[in-house]
Chain A
């Protein structure tokens, strides 16, 4: 078989670019900055080495729309490294991987089973293709106020009630590091003739680290969107789409080419290539160190008192089937501060930027780029915040998950006639747009859902605490678009 002979020490796109650089080719093609010479300010800022390989597709460098040489080889190497039948290099972010995954499997009117705490890119792709979401309520941890994974019974029930659904989509893991029982869900989906798709925006390291939750490909899932630029170390906006043996590579390529640029960035592609090589050769060691750092930080933060940095003790065999040990999520409510408040104080007063804060939690993103001395700063800053700001948690909202009522498909809601009304008067109307806190970018309201007074209260509370709200036409969310 072709794949077993692949050499993971190779990085074909990177090697081709190095060769291209040595050939000192005179460019009479795009991009117009001509290896940076036409834009000295940009070259000065990004560096000659960088802009020198910001080049167009050409024979020796292959073409992302129809790869036959070095990009193809890089994709085969990536597929081999991730244990997939094929891997597509993606340059439109994991949003483009998720979209291609959904558009490859669903068409107008098809049903797709998914948890409500999906990333907005999933529901956006339903707007594009007209598929109907069947939401499985994720379990909720009442104390932490976070959505967990999907329980097996809830998935089973959704499949039984919707035998005509075409696919089940799973977060592997959630932003907070929580995994559903992916192997069982794959089996249930396949037994019912459905495909299983995985949003692995936060799961790249599952493919390389030891003692990690199971990866989508190993669990037998059919497609997975993998954010290489998160734990994989590649440049922002680069991503991978993986497929298993049940899915046609040619069909997926056609779907990708519907929306993907024809000028794929070689900076992004080479970063995927080099990062894949790094993970294949050194991933085990890299993620061992990241887990060690995360475990250390959890112990130290829990020793401060008041905070709860959660880990594998959350595992319950079902809706928390597994936990990603590299994640450093901390519950802050017991010191009397909302997560978003801790997030803001860390940035404004301590020059520490973390991934996000929500109502009750903060999440610090750890990677191989971190140093122990920086972790000591984070832990000490959290100790200081507790000393300076601790108060009784009265009046802090704890509940976060609100069960949505889907009135019509995201697509028909998005394209229907609508009007803008004040948020406080919108209870009972059907929303035609998204409302979310970003990050984590999980919708509070999605197009086609009924607005309730609980939801209005939640949005107003999140705004008051300083969450940045996105998705709606009115940037301040004083008004909201509803169906007429």
Chain B
């Protein structure tokens, strides 16, 4: 069989994966959900035709969005995770004993159900007793909270569809308000390479800079995302991602990782010149 899944990374660029089996396809109230099997990347979750995760490279995303803030903040107890219905981020978070509570807000319950069934490796920790799942719009959920979380992880889809509200100034503002005085917010920040993505990245970076006193961008290599090059935003009320990074403390936890290292932690904040320039343009 010669069946291919293609995703547009830019209007004139496609990224294609050969598919061996289409395991799940359903239209929820919010989006089209598909899970299929591929020879190179294993099982793949796509929402509205955009790859969210593959079994092969999900570890990069989940580790980088989780361990970076966890190794900076000295005492994370209460965490809010937005989106992330696949369970990958929660899986990493539950490895920390200091974490007392993980509130997961996912607007589309059907994503969670599909992942539990077809991506059990990823979703396995969603049943941890510390995890509380809320099916709600994140803006609605967060604006009811104030001074409540140490860490907010925004694991959203891209800024052009159902989750575009998670890239707005009001969203970052209510996150700021929901964080404790030393809280950190980490978000997936898109890619700086293709024009459309780059502009969206600049817009959201500007909004974060206007909301948080500390705002830095870091990077990772993720093969199945646009250009294979992905950014994360580190926004914080108090801790600096490098100056307040406690390497020894993190190492003492003896967590094994496949992508994240303490050296890479620092390196991931050193950005290419064109990207530095793009960020500076909106920081002024």
Residues of A within 8 A of B177 (CB): 384, 387
Q: Is the CB of A383 within 8 A of B143?
A: yes
Q: Is the CB of A377 within 8 A of B165?
A: yes
Residues of A within 8 A of B164 (CB): 373
Considering only residues 362-417 of chain A, those with a C-beta below 8 Å from chain B are 372-374, 376-377, 379-381, 383-384, 387-388
A383 to B177, CA, bound (A): 10
Residues of A within 8 A of B139 (CB): 373, 376-377, 379-380
Interface residues on chain A, size class: 10 to 19
Residues of A within 8 A of B168 (CB): 350-351, 377, 381
Interface membership of A191, Cβ < 8 A? no
Q: Is the CB of B137 within 8 A of A387?
A: no
Interface string of B103-146 (1 = CB under 8 A from A): 00000000000000000000000000000000001011011000
Q: Is the CB of B174 within 8 A of A384?
A: yes
A55 to chain B, nearest CB (A): 33
Q: Is the CB of A380 within 8 A of B162?
A: no
Closest chain A residue to B140, Cβ basis: A376
Interface membership of A349, Cβ < 8 A? yes
Residues of B within 8 A of A351 (CB): 168-169
Interface membership of B170, Cβ < 8 A? yes
B136 to chain A, nearest CB (A): 10
Residues of B within 8 A of A374 (CB): 165
Q: Is the CB of B165 within 8 A of A379?
A: no
Within 8 Å by CB of B169, from A350, A372, A387, lies A350
Residues of A within 8 A of B225 (CB): none
Q: Is the CB of A350 within 8 A of B170?
A: yes
Interface membership of B250, Cβ < 8 A? no
A387 to B170, CA, bound (A): 11
B146 to chain A, nearest CB (A): 9
A32 to B234, CA, bound (A): 57
Of B164, B170, B174, most buried by chain A (CB within 10 Å of CB) is B170
Within 8 Å by CB of A377, from B142, B162, B170, lies B170
A200 to chain B, nearest CB (A): 34
Q: Is the CB of A376 within 8 A of B165?
A: yes
Closest chain B residue to A381, Cβ basis: B170
Q: Is the CB of B165 within 8 A of A373?
A: yes
Interface membership of A73, Cβ < 8 A? no
A350 to B211, CA, bound (A): 12
**Closest A-B pairs by Cβ, 3 of them:** A381-B170, A384-B173, A376-B139
User: Can you list 14 pairs linking A and B with CB atoms under 8 Å apart?
Assistant: A300-B140, A351-B168, A373-B164, A376-B137, A376-B139, A376-B165, A377-B171, A379-B139, A379-B143, A383-B143, A383-B174, A384-B169, A387-B173, A387-B177
| A351-B168, A377-B168, A380-B170 given; 16 more Cβ-contact pairs under 8 Å | A350-B169, A350-B170, A372-B137, A373-B137, A373-B162, A376-B137, A376-B139, A376-B165, A377-B171, A380-B140, A380-B143, A383-B170, A383-B174, A384-B174, A384-B177, A388-B173
